Amino acid sequence: MQDLECESPKTKLLYITPEMAAASSFQPTLNMLLSRGLLSYLIIDEAHCVSEWGHDFRPDYQRLGTLRTRLSQIPCVALTATATKQVQDDIISSLKLHQPIAMFKTPCFRFNLFYDVQMKELLSDPYGNLKDFCLKALGEKKPTGGFSGCGIVYCRTRDSCEEVAIQLTQRGVPSKAYHAGLKAGDRVSIQNQWMDEVVPVIVATISFGMGVDKANVRFVAHWNVAKSLAGYYQESGRAGRDGRQSFCRVYYSRTDRDQVSFLIKKEITKAQAKRKDTKASDKAAMVGFETMVNYCEEQGCRHATIASYFGDIKPQCNKCCDCCKNPQLVKKQTEQLQTLLLGRSRTCIEQPAARPGPFGYNTDLYEGGRKGYGFERCDEDDDSDGGQEESSDIRKKKWNSFFQKQMNLRKVRSVKLTR
């Protein structure tokens, strides 16, 4: 802040949250920058969060439209990897972007990613299957020990993260759990171990990975079904950023489907009650989830389903998904699942109307989004079970140290790429 107020600021990029942009404490600084003509661009990252039709809607993002009005003469750039045509239109409207608008879009198809779905109900040993998947994706060990790549397993709950990490480690795949229930220092340590490839697999809630750009992620597995196809595409897209063959898998079950469906409906009802009205966009979260369910249950090219969702032309999959590589096996699995579930329904005693049961409504069940549709996320710097043990200054120093280390690594990679 002192640098911004000096005669010749050295700051070139000011990175703030939508919350800070709207905060009264930041307005004097903003006014000063405007009056001195020091603002060249307004850039909105993760712009899909602006839209109520987006998969991670955040009301604070919508308020950036007001900021845009104040900065009407400054060029504005909105960036996102996950925007349907409807979301794109909403971004343009909400951010009050001036016509004509230059739009740059790359196809969502990535030929080096192999997508598949495993039906949990059909697996005799799901953890064993996950272990085999991890080892196959990680490949041979280096002569010095360890793997040349790494992987991410996403879970819906903190307890699932802990359990999956334990199960994989016991089966010979060293893994660490990462979630908002851990102390800040522990999270930094675990993420450092993963980034430095001391631990090859990190098992995390979806709050992990935002902004982490690690090139050699060989696989991304979802132990539970994602809450939307857009969210799944973003999370799975953290694999294979070096262009090498990588794998993206969903472990799908009807139990997960029913739990997530219940929670989304509960959150929508809660939002409607708070507003005391209904809006067309209320169904966005449910529609997004239904698209994800169809992706898992229907027999068709996974890449084509993703491309269709984002309005792209059908790509040449070339056996880069299970449906195209072995359609008969996928068909057989789908039929087996239907037969199994039909058999269960015939033997079940009639039950009362559905109710929350043992799951209830718990924000821990899906740590994604932030006070939008879906589920509230525990912020990464929010220590819900011991944050008082470390002062904010210590935690800040740890995070700053980690951030600087990662930026230095990126500079090294950048130099290597440009030589």
Note the pLDDT tens digit of each residue in 157-215.
999 999 999 999 999 999 999 998 999 899 999 999 999 989 999 999 986 765 567 99
How much is the pLDDT for 345?
58
Q: Among 345, 372, 403, where does a domain finish?
A: 345
Name the DSSP letter for residue 221. Answer: E
Strand locations in 60-182, DSSP E? 76-78, 113-119, 150-154, 175-178
Within a domain: 150 = yes
- Rounded Cα–Cα distance for residues 143 and 135 (Å): 16
- Over the stretch 302-339, which tens digit does the pLDDT of each residue have? 999 999 999 999 999 999 999 999 999 999 998 888 88
Q: Among 299, 329, 345, where does a domain finish?
A: 345
Q: In this structure, are 90 and 122 located in the same domain?
A: no
The answer to whether residues 251 and 121 touch, using CB atoms and an 8 Å cutoff, is no
Q: In this structure, are 182 and 329 located in the same domain?
A: yes
Angle subtended at Cα 46 by Cα 156 and Cα 414, rounded to the nearest 5 degrees: 100
Within a domain: 37 = yes
Q: In this structure, are 88 and 143 located in the same domain?
A: no
Burial class (CB in 10 A: 0-12, 13-18, 19+), 117: buried
- Over the stretch 286-302, which tens digit does the pLDDT of each residue have? 888 999 999 999 999 99
CATH number of 239's domain: 3.40.50.300
This prediction has a pTM of 0.78
Bridge partner list, 250: 117, 222
Length of the chain: 419
- Rounded Cα–Cα distance for residues 8 and 308 (Å): 49
CB 311: neighbour CB atoms within 10 A?
Answer: 13
CB 353: neighbour CB atoms within 10 A?
Answer: 4
The answer to whether residues 94 and 50 touch, using CB atoms and an 8 Å cutoff, is yes
CB 371: neighbour CB atoms within 10 A?
Answer: 13
How much is the pLDDT for 408?
65
Within a domain: 188 = yes
Q: In this structure, are 300 and 174 located in the same domain?
A: yes
Within a domain: 272 = yes
Tell me phi and psi for residue 34, to 5 degrees: -65, -50
- Rounded Cα–Cα distance for residues 80 and 104 (Å): 11
- Rounded Cα–Cα distance for residues 118 and 377 (Å): 27
Q: In this structure, are 155 and 303 located in the same domain?
A: yes
The answer to whether residues 38 and 9 touch, using CB atoms and an 8 Å cutoff, is yes
Within a domain: 398 = no
- Rounded Cα–Cα distance for residues 371 and 380 (Å): 15
Q: In this structure, are 281 and 332 located in the same domain?
A: yes
Within a domain: 166 = yes
Concatenate the DSSP letters of all residues of 239-266 into one string. Answer: S-TTSS-EEEEEEE-HHHHHHHHHHHHH
Domain span at 195: 113-345
Exposed e or buried b per residue across 21-49, where buried means at least 16 C-beta atoms within 10 angstroms of its C-beta = beeeeeeebbeebeeeeeeeebebebbbb
Band of pLDDT at residue 405, cut at 50, 70 and 90: low
- Over the stretch 353-390, which tens digit does the pLDDT of each residue have? 444 433 333 333 333 334 443 333 433 333 333 333 44
Number of domains in the chain: 2
Q: Determine the average pLDDT of the residues in 343-356.
A: 51
How much is the pLDDT for 346?
60
Q: In this structure, are 76 and 121 located in the same domain?
A: no
Q: In this structure, are 81 and 21 located in the same domain?
A: yes
How much is the pLDDT for 220?
97
CB 350: neighbour CB atoms within 10 A?
Answer: 4
The answer to whether residues 64 and 95 touch, using CB atoms and an 8 Å cutoff, is yes
Q: In this structure, are 38 and 127 located in the same domain?
A: no
Residue 5 has pLDDT above 80, yes or no: yes
Please give the share of the chain, as a percent, with pLDDT higher than 90. Answer: 55
What are 51's two structure tokens? 């839209």
How much is the pLDDT for 296?
95
Q: In this structure, are 288 and 139 located in the same domain?
A: yes
Q: In this structure, are 141 and 54 located in the same domain?
A: no
Within a domain: 399 = no
Q: In this structure, are 297 and 331 located in the same domain?
A: yes
How much is the pLDDT for 368?
37
- Rounded Cα–Cα distance for residues 312 and 307 (Å): 5
Within a domain: 418 = no
